Each structure stands twice: as structure tokens, then as C-alpha cells.
Amino acid sequence: MMFDLKLLLIELGVALILARLFGYALEKVKQPAVIGEILAGIVVGPFVIGSISGYNFISPSIREGIESISYIGIIILLFLSGIDTGIDELKKASKSGIITSLFDVSVAFLFGYIVGTILQYPFIYRIAIGNIFSATSVGITVRTLMDINALHTNVGNLILTVAVLDDILGIIILSVTLGTGSPEILLIKVTIFFIIFLALLFIFYKMRKLNFRAQIPRFVLTSAIAFCFIFSFLAMSLGLAAITGSFFAGLLLSVFPQRRRISTFVREIGEVFFIPLFFVWVGSSFDFSALKGVGYLILYFIPMALLGKIVGCSLGAKINGFKNRDALAVGIGMMPRMEVALVVVTTEISMKIFPTKLAHQMLASTILLVIISSLITPFALKSVYKPSQ
Amino acid sequence: MDIEIKDLHEKKISDILDRGIKWNLPLLEKNASVQSVLSILTARDHIWVVEEKKSKKVVGVITEYDILRLLAPARLPKYVFGKKYGVSIEYGTAKKAEDVMCKQVIKCSPDEKIGDVLSRMVNAGLRRLPVIENDEIVGEITAHYIIQILLGKR
């Protein structure tokens, strides 16, 4: 089919402005902008604008273009996550944070695996669900903690540390469990990837000491983006997900003094163009007809996703000497899922792990999980936790 | 103009560096409280954060702009990653100089050419760089200072 540039341009234009407006509207009612962007996607998708005009954001003639932009959006999003997380911050993470995070991710993953087992899915689906369950969104967590003025408390501090560590643990689990090829070969490939990562980290630390200066204008920013793409390519060549590559590329570049400039620049292009289009694309792929057969999946999927975090984090916090109520607050504070969960599910879908119908259902369930978790977390946290001051 | 700008570009930082300024640099230890950060910023527009006062090893910088962000009502960007977005005066998470400083400092050394240092400042969008010799801050190069040199006022 002919690629329709004209249609693509108008769709991009409409989608961008709607995403911005919807995002802003949601922020006004204290919900994350991402949900607004997903709603904008539903509007420009096949069920609203599509059903009126016949042309929609994922019309066959522009689908490839939209998908490519969205994948770039995902890669940029994870790159940003890596560079904002930062190696130096990871090194400074408290012991209690690391322990809680290990509990959190493993229990959440296990709960996902259990959902798959209850529904009698094959092994690979169970792992895929586990991966979706592992991520947490710091954004909503921070916002909620601000709401109840608990950002500076022990609970707040632990939640923040764990939420940040979650991303990296989640990504590591994702690369180990979802790589292609037989387990032995995969293990070798993952090892190669991390050896390359550590070698580069070592070299970059040395370079930082050398105070290397590029004479080519804008070299830092261009090479940062290029490095992100090349590293994602490397990850893919080794059978890992592209997002693993871009996340670790971000972590690597975080050691340079130009970090803040790179992060600001990437955030600009990401926030304005690529990332909203990814969420719009997610929204437009939300298939209402998938909701019909989705009953059992959602019935287990959402409660287990929420419970997994509560159990895992509360256990971890409890072991670190938190009181029952505070430990529970940590667990509840970790419930929200957002960007990374959506990125993981779309990555899994793009890796063709699920058959088409189940893929639609998985995406729909994750979108609902995102919305429900960010709606209930503030209420739940406020009712459980009252900072003593 | 007292000095041709082209000649100035060829000179070295050490040629213009006022080493006396060393005793008047806005330095603060990384463990200092946010209150002391704010009180220095009532008079100065930036602070070099050092490991400890004795060693003078620069580990961060705090500018007016960093603080401006902390003074305004806390607002999160659309996509939040990393812990730094939780740092705020309003919510009591900005406690020490370390919490609010920019950790990656772009520096220069006394034996670099002024032209190179100026291009670095333009590229990085910075108007002041610390001059580092043997891991220790010995002075600073600011846009003001370069203008003063150019006009022969120093």
C-alpha cells in the first residue's frame, strides 16, 4: 500500500495538540498527564474519529510511520529514565532500599507468574505478565507523597528509592527472561551485554577524568542520541529488547559532566514529540472489542498487580524495621504503574510474544491497570498513612 | 578596548587568573544546610560546593537558577524518572547543599586558552566555570570577569 504522507501529517498534528490538551486537563484534576495522552489516543483511534471519518491514527496506510515514531518514543523514554536515574545515585542507594526493592520486584513478578498459571497460559506468557507487574511509576508516587506531605518522611524516602531501583531491576529481569533463543545462549548473550556495559562504564569513568573536549559543535548532544540508538541496536542484536539498550545507554551517559544538558535536550525532543505520540499510539491501539473476552484476565490481572506490590514492598519494609502501618504505606505507595509498564507491554507485543487477540487484551488490561492504580493509590495511601507531624 | 579580543582568546587562563580571589570564593561544604545555601545566595549568585573546606575539591555547583526552581511551587515534569524530582523546599526534602546542587561540574584549568574556555561556556550555556588545579579550586572565570579584563578594568 502507498504510504500516505498527507494523512500522516494531519494525524500527527491533531494527535500532538489533543495529547497536550488532554494531558493538561488530566493534570488539572490531579491525574497524570499520561492518562490524558492515552485518552487522546482513544479519540484519534478507530473508535471515535476513525468511526466518523474512516481515517484514524493507526489507519493501515500510515500505520508503519506511526509505529516507527512510537518505537523511537519508547527508546527515548527509557533513555531518559536511565540518564535521570543515574549511576551515581544507584551507588548511593540505601541498603534498606535495595532489600525492599528486591522483595518488591520478585514478589510482583511472582504474582504476575501466578496470574498466568491460574489462567493456564504457557510459560512465556506467565513471565511476560510478571514483567509487566514489576515496574512502578515514580511520577505518581512522588505526586501522592506531595499530596499527603510525606515526601520527607522515612516512608517517603524508602518509596522513592525503591521506585527508582525498580526500573533497573525490572529492566534486568526483562532482558534475562524475554530474550530470544535457548536459555544457555541467552545467558551468554546477556553476559556479553553486561560485560560491554561494564567495560564502557569503566572507559567512561576514565574519560570523565580526562576532561575530554569535543571541538565539533553540538557533538555532545548528537553523539548522546546516536549512542542511545546504537546501544539499543546492540541490545537487539544480542536478542535483548531495544529498551534494555537505551536504558543502559542512559545510565552510561549519566557519568559525564554534560549529563544535565543531555537530559534536558532529550527531554525536550521526547516530551514535545516522540513520547506523547507513543502514548497516543497506545491509546489508539486500545481495542474495545478486546474487552468482551477479557473478563477473567482483568479479574485476576488488576488485583494481583496491586497486591503483588503491597505484599512485596510491605514485607521488604517490615524486614527493614518499619512499623506495620508504615510498611503497608510503602506497599500501597508503590502500587501505581504508568510509563514503564506500558512500555514493557508494548515491547512484549512487538516481540510477538502474545497471539493477536491476547495481545489486545493484555494491552487493554495494562491500560486499565494504569488508570485504576493511579486513581486509587492517593485515596488508599491517605487512608492508611498519616505522617506524624 | 584595552586588549584585542583575538589576543585575549590566545592567552591562558593563568595569565588573567586573580589568585587572590581564592580567599573570597563562595564555597560551601556539601553537608551544609539549605539555610546556609540560601544565606550565601542573598549576596552571591552561585556557590561552589566542596567536599570539605580544607581540600577544596569541587563536587557540585548551585546557581540562582537551581534555587529559583526550588522556590517556586513544586511542579513535576510530565514524565518523571529519578529521585531528583522529589527534591523540594516546600516538601522538606531539600535539606543539604548536596541535595540541591548540580553534581556534574564543567570545569577549566589554568593552562587552557581563554578562547577554548569561552567556547565551552557558550556550548554548555554556562556563565561561570571553576578553575581547577590539582583537584582544588583556585579561582573562577565568569562572564563579568572576562568583560572586566577586556576593558582593562583589572
The 10 Å CB-count burial string (b at 16+, else e) for A11-39 is bbebbbebbbebbeebbeeebbbbbbbbb
- Give the side-chain half-sphere CA count within 13 A for A69: 25
Residue A214 in domain: yes
Using CA atoms in the order B109, B110, B113, B119, what is the torsion angle rounded to 10 degrees?
40
Residue A274 CA to chain centroid, in angstroms?
15
Min Cα distance B6 → chain A (Å) is 18
Q: What is d(CA B97, CA A374) in angstroms, rounded to the nearest whole number?
A: 33
Range of the domain at A230: 80-384
| pLDDT tens figures, B100-147 | 998 888 889 999 999 999 988 988 888 999 999 998 999 999 999 999
Provide ipTM, 2 decimals.
0.79
Residue A339 to residue B107, Cβ atoms within 8 A: no
Residue A153 in domain: yes
Q: What is d(CA A292, CA A307) in angstroms, rounded to the nearest whole number?
A: 24
| pLDDT for A214 | 65
| pLDDT tens figures, A48-74 | 888 888 888 888 889 999 999 999 999
Among A9, A112, A27, which residue's Cα sits nearest to residue A69?
A9
Residue A26 in domain: no
Residue A178 in domain: yes
| pLDDT tens figures, B38-93 | 999 999 999 999 998 888 999 999 998 888 888 888 888 888 887 777 788 888 88
Assign residue A203 the CATH number of its domain.
Answer: 1.20.1530.20
Of A33, A85, A271, the CB nearest to B81: A85
| pLDDT for B1 | 59
| Mutant choice from A31, A213, A222, A259 vs B, greatest count of B C-beta within 10 A | A213
Q: Are A49 and A43 in contact (CB under 8 A)?
A: yes
Q: What is d(CA A166, CA B117) in angstroms, rounded to the nearest whole number?
A: 40
Report which DSSP code applies to B91: T
| pLDDT for A73 | 95
pLDDT band at B2 (very low <50, low <70, confident <90, very high): low
CA distances, A10 to each of A14, A17, B4 (Å): 6, 11, 54
Residue A60 in domain: no
Q: Which residues of chain A have pLDDT under 50?
A: none
Residue A301 in domain: yes
Min Cα distance B118 → chain A (Å) is 12
Residue B79 to residue A139, Cβ atoms within 8 A: yes
Residue A342 in domain: yes
**Chain A hits for B109, Cβ within 8 Å:** 211
B26 vs A184, residue with greater confidence: B26
Residue A288 in domain: yes
List domains and CATH numbers for chain B.
5-150 (3.10.580.10)
**Chain B hits for A34, Cβ within 8 Å:** 78-79
| pLDDT for B78 | 82
List the grid coordinates of B5. Answer: 579580543
Residue A164 to residue B83, Cβ atoms within 8 A: yes
**Chain A hits for B103, Cβ within 8 Å:** 88
